[in-house]
């Protein structure tokens, strides 16, 4: 995990120390006195120190001061929950390698666990201190923000009764790709908390596009999921036997962005009567603006509980190390698949033949166009609604001063037009790899028919990168941007498509002038801390400040 921190290398230096004295003092000392000073410094110091200590211990004012300080600290602890010996008050966070997640440690933590944090941070600092970590690889200033999930006393008190409840059960069916499923699982946990219900491990609907039949346990670590949320929501693997034969109340038409009060009013009475509630299609059904404790719970699910299954983590870390072995690397999520061009209403610009393919597909299936069907392709392009082409990505990376020998990991599905569509990128940046390039023979074979697992591997290598950028927004970009912010605001470039596309289309601009304009447009889009509450409707798992991260000025 890359965290922007510069640490000086430890080097051994030999110093000579001198004591300065006036000539009068030197002259007043005899040769024997000087010799005794040189031969017995420790004994002399010990006697002086012992004398001073005895003097202070016998002084009543010293004891009064000690008693006053202890009394003051005790009162502060009782009244304000103040603990001067707790590191990073009020939250202590141990950073562990990605996909082992970030583990929150309560006050009174053992020194062993704090040593883990210290060692990991030293390793990260060592990596970031390499001479290569300059220029493009330099990390943004995180302004001291760190994870902080301090739930209210009312939340903790309510948890005790909720976890004992055995009368209400929530079953959810989540759909879409892996990252879309993650978003729905996060909301499923929060909805279970709102209803005070036990959550059955979410059911993953078979993906009709990729034919992926993966279950929750194939992608995520189930036991870790249960344990991480054991203080918040009761997670069970299956319904109790007395509910197996009952038909749950099913809800398919939850409106978008509903509030906790709406959920309670709509579902709580029915759930108490029937015992089981089945929800489908949770995508964007829950409001993004929730009470503080529920926002923190969202972060806890997304960044702590949803850990990938061990085989996925193991392979993802192997590929990460292969990318890291020769220096820092950029992870690039390319959105150039056929279905992306169809859904966005945009054209790939490869050739008239490919444009015709996309046009015919969209004409035969107009329901695939996601939004703003009244806009022309050119209008969409200027509005920043289209994915960047390989040529546009290449020009953007050059303007952002990516070294020509820089290592790039590209994530995503096969682009329309095959690898030939990527030729501008490969020509300019020859150290260009995807998971198939990095994997040894047979390593990816167990997952070759599992699109969600392949996406999870891309997620791991991308989240672990020194720099991350996506050519178009989407669920993966959303998730990784939030994860990297929560991990210390690792450099994440957000292409400013709305403002830069006109410059891409201006053929009169010289390359030097174009590069300067593009670089200036992105100086504030490098993953710097950004407050979620500056705009309503932002997802806390993409912008974790202020609910899930604090700095020293926040207290």
Same domain (yes/no): 287, 200: yes
Q: Is residue 104 part of a domain?
A: no
Same domain (yes/no): 485, 364: yes
How would you class 523 by CB atoms within 10 Å of its CB: exposed for 0-12, middle for 13-18, buried for 19 or more? exposed
Q: Please enumerate, as own/partner, the contacts of 213-217 that have beta carbons within 8 Å and a separation of 24 or more.
A: 214/450, 214/452, 214/453, 217/309
* pLDDT, tens digit (0-9, with 9 covering 90-100), for 136-148: 999 999 999 999 9
Q: What is the pLDDT along the chain (555 residues), one digit of tens a residue?
A: 443 333 344 444 444 443 334 434 334 334 343 333 233 344 344 444 445 545 555 566 666 666 767 666 555 544 444 443 333 344 644 444 344 444 443 333 333 333 433 443 444 444 444 445 679 999 999 999 999 999 999 999 999 999 999 999 999 999 988 999 999 999 999 999 999 999 999 999 987 666 788 999 999 999 999 999 999 999 999 998 877 656 677 887 889 999 999 999 999 999 998 899 999 989 889 999 999 999 999 999 999 999 999 999 999 999 999 999 999 999 999 999 998 999 898 999 899 999 999 989 888 888 777 766 678 888 999 999 999 999 999 999 999 999 999 999 999 999 999 999 999 999 999 999 999 999 999 999 999 889 999 999 999 999 999 999 999 989 999 999 999 999 999 999 999 999 999 999 999 999 999 999 999 999 999 999 999 987 888 999 999 999 999 998 765
**End residue of a domain, out of 304, 338, 373:** 304
Q: Please report the pLDDT score of residue 209 as a whole number.
A: 67
Same domain (yes/no): 253, 268: yes
Q: Please report the pLDDT score of residue 366 as a whole number.
A: 80
Are 516 and 220 in contact by the 8 Å Cβ rule? The answer is no
3-state secondary structure (DSSP) of residue 249: strand
Are 444 and 438 in contact by the 8 Å Cβ rule? The answer is no
Q: Please report the pLDDT score of residue 8 as a whole number.
A: 41
Number of domains in the chain: 2
Cα distances from 497 to residues 338, 342, 389, in angstroms, run: 20, 19, 12
Same domain (yes/no): 402, 536: yes
Tell me if the bond preceding 546 is cis, omega within 30° of 0. yes
Q: Is residue 287 part of a domain?
A: yes
Same domain (yes/no): 247, 329: no
Same domain (yes/no): 189, 235: yes
How would you class 520 by CB atoms within 10 Å of its CB: exposed for 0-12, middle for 13-18, buried for 19 or more? exposed
Cα(463)–Cα(486) distance, integer angstroms: 11
Same domain (yes/no): 274, 332: no
Cα(263)–Cα(197) distance, integer angstroms: 12
Cα(377)–Cα(381) distance, integer angstroms: 6
Same domain (yes/no): 372, 299: no
Same domain (yes/no): 448, 356: yes
Q: Is residue 195 part of a domain?
A: yes
Same domain (yes/no): 423, 495: yes
Structure tokens, 473 = 């927004």
DSSP state of 405: T
**End residue of a domain, out of 258, 278, 304:** 304
Chain centroid offset of residue 203 CA: 24
* pLDDT, tens digit (0-9, with 9 covering 90-100), for 161-175: 999 999 999 999 999
Q: Is residue 17 part of a domain?
A: no
Same domain (yes/no): 504, 387: yes
Cα(493)–Cα(528) distance, integer angstroms: 10
Cα–Cα nearest to 461, from 488, 439, 478: 439
Q: Is residue 187 part of a domain?
A: yes
Cα distances from 164 to residues 2, 31, 235, 495, in angstroms, run: 40, 82, 12, 48
Q: Is residue 140 part of a domain?
A: no
Q: Is residue 125 part of a domain?
A: no
**End residue of a domain, out of 278, 304, 330:** 304
Cα–Cα nearest to 191, from 263, 94, 91: 263
Q: Please report the pLDDT score of residue 427 as a whole number.
A: 97
Q: Please report the pLDDT score of residue 179 as a whole number.
A: 94
Output the domain CATH number for residue 177: 3.40.50.11340
Same domain (yes/no): 166, 250: yes
Q: Residue 198 is part of which domain span?
A: 153-304
Q: Please report the pLDDT score of residue 554 as a whole number.
A: 62
Q: Is residue 107 part of a domain?
A: no
């Amino acid at each position: 995990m890359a965290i922007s921190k510069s640490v000086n290398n430890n080097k051994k230096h030999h110093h000579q120390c001198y004591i300065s004295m006036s000539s009068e003092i030197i002259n007043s000392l005899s040769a024997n006195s000087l010799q005794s000073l040189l031969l017995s410094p420790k004994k002399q110091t010990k006697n002086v120190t012992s004398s001073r200590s005895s003097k202070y211990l016998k002084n009543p004012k010293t004891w009064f001061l000690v008693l006053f300080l202890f009394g003051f600290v005790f009162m502060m602890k009782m009244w304000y929950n103040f603990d001067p010996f707790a590191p990073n008050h009020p939250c202590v966070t141990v950073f562990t390698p990605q996909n082992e997640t970030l583990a929150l440690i309560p006050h009174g933590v053992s020194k062993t666990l704090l040593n883990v944090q210290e060692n990991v941070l030293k390793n990260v600092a060592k990596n970031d201190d390499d001479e290569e970590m300059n220029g493009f690889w330099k990390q943004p200033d995180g302004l001291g923000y760190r994870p902080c999930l301090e739930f209210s006393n009312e939340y903790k008190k309510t948890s005790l009764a909720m976890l004992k409840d055995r009368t209400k059960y929530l079953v959810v069916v989540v759909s879409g790709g892996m990252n879309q499923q993650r978003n729905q699982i996060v909301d499923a946990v929060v909805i279970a908390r709102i209803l005070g219900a036990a959550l059955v491990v979410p059911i993953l609907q078979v993906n009709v596009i990729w034919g992926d039949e993966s279950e929750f346990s194939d992608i995520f670590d189930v036991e870790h999921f249960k344990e991480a949320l054991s203080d918040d929501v009761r997670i069970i693997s299956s319904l109790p036997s007395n509910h197996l034969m009952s038909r749950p109340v099913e809800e398919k038409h939850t409106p978008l962005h509903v509030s906790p009060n709406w959920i309670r009013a709509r579902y709580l009475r029915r759930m108490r009567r029937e015992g089981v509630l089945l929800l489908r299609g949770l995508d964007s059904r829950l409001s993004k603006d929730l009470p503080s404790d529920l926002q923190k719970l969202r972060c806890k699910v997304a960044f702590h509980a949803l850990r990938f299954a061990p085989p996925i983590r193991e392979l993802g870390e192997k590929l990460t190390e292969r990318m890291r072995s020769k220096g820092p690397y950029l992870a690039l999520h390319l959105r150039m698949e056929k279905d992306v061009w169809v859904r966005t209403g945009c054209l790939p610009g490869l050739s008239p033949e490919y444009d015709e393919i996309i046009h015919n597909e969209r004409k035969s299936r107009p329901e695939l166009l996601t939004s703003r069907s009244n806009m022309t392709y050119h209008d969409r392009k200027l509005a920043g609604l289209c994915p960047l082409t390989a040529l546009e990505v290449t020009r953007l990376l050059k303007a952002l001063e990516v070294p020509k020998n820089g290592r790039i990991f590209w994530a995503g599905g096969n682009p329309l037009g095959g690898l030939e569509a990527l030729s501008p990128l490969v020509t300019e940046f020859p150290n260009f790899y995807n998971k198939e390039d990095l994997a040894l023979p047979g390593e990816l074979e167990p997952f070759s028919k599992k699109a969600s697992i392949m996406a999870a591997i891309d997620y791991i290598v991308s989240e672990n990168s020194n720099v991350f950028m996506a050519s178009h927004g989407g669920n993966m970009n959303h998730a990784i941007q939030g994860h990297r912010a929560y991990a210390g605001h690792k450099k994440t470039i957000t292409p400013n498509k709305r403002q830069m596309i006109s410059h891409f289309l201006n053929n009169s601009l010289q390359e030097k002038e174009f590069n300067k304009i593009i670089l200036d447009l992105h100086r504030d889009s490098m993953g710097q801390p950004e407050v979620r509450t500056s705009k309503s409707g932002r997802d806390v798992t993409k912008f974790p400040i202020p609910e899930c991260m604090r700095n020293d000025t926040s207290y």
